[in-house]
Structure 1
């Protein structure tokens, strides 16, 4: 199963470790888990906390049980999170595959390459703004790919990326 929510990437991988530790060991309902994430990570909203909870599930660092959400025993590593991201997060592999190891590309270049993979229901869900939503999602995925060493950022103005 591919999961779609992707939070804005943090500045350092240690934040992912902190996020996993914020999920309870004893299963809790979504509201309790989101409240813990909000409090422990100083997130700006419950929606951002819910996105993080779902994303941690995609990275196999949290799971949903019949009793609620709980932290898994999987130790967060860059290699493990990269593999889970590419395998379990919708469009992550397509964004990575749109990168070239030798020719740096901007987020707009990458979005243009993956634009046709955006499902019709996503285009209808966001109607007139689906392109800006997916440009932002592409930029977030590029940030995650960079954080997890699947891509490299080679320029800053505008940011350009290469595949690693």
Structure 2
């Protein structure tokens, strides 16, 4: 299963470890996990914490079971996150492919223009007035993660595959 919720990339991978450690080893409710994340990180809203909880699931660092959410004992190494990001985040492979096929660095807007046809139809119908804004931001966040994970490089002109 691939997840579509992606937070903005942090300044370093250290934050990923901090966020992961905020998720309990003993399963807890989403509310409990989000409260712990707010207490133990610099996130400022429950929505941010919930997005991070979903993202940690996407990259194999947390899971949801019948009793709630819990941390997976997996070190958030760059290598693990590179593979898990591409495998678990909806659109990440496509965004990286767009960069790999480009002859020059692309801005986030240019990447979105090349990606827009891949946005699922049901997403367009769910948010007919805002889907472009939502998915443009999602692509921008994914580009930030690709750069943080050394799968892409941020240049003065945009992004290019590493």
- Give the TM-score taking structure 1 as reference length: 0.94
Q: What secondary structure does 2:36 align onto?
A: helix
CA displacement at 1:124 relative to structure 2: 1.4
User: Do structure 1's residue 148 and structure 2's residue 114 form an aligned pair?
Assistant: no
**Consecutive unaligned residues in structure 2, runs of 5 or more:** none
User: Do structure 1's residue 163 and structure 2's residue 161 form an aligned pair?
Assistant: yes
Structure 1: distance between partners of 2:89 and 2:142: 9
Structure 1: distance between partners of 2:20 and 2:94: 26
Comparing 87-96 with 126-135, which one deviates more in the overlay?
126-135
Matched residue, 1:95? 95
User: Do structure 1's residue 49 and structure 2's residue 58 form an aligned pair?
Assistant: no
Q: What secondary structure does 1:18 align onto?
A: helix
Matched residue, 1:38? 38
Matched residue, 1:119? 120
CA displacement at 1:49 relative to structure 2: 0.6
Structure 2: distance between partners of 1:64 and 1:15: 21
CA displacement at 1:102 relative to structure 2: 5.1
Matched residue, 2:137? 136
Structure 2: distance between partners of 1:19 and 1:129: 29
**Consecutive unaligned residues in structure 1, runs of 5 or more:** none
Structure 2: distance between partners of 1:128 and 1:66: 36
Matched residue, 2:76? 76
Aligned length, in residue pairs: 161
CA displacement at 1:96 relative to structure 2: 0.6
Detail structure 1 runs of 4+ shifted over 2 Å in the superposition.
none
Post-superposition Cα deviations, 1:101-139, rounded to whole Å, max 9, x if no partner, equal 751110011101111000011111221121111111110
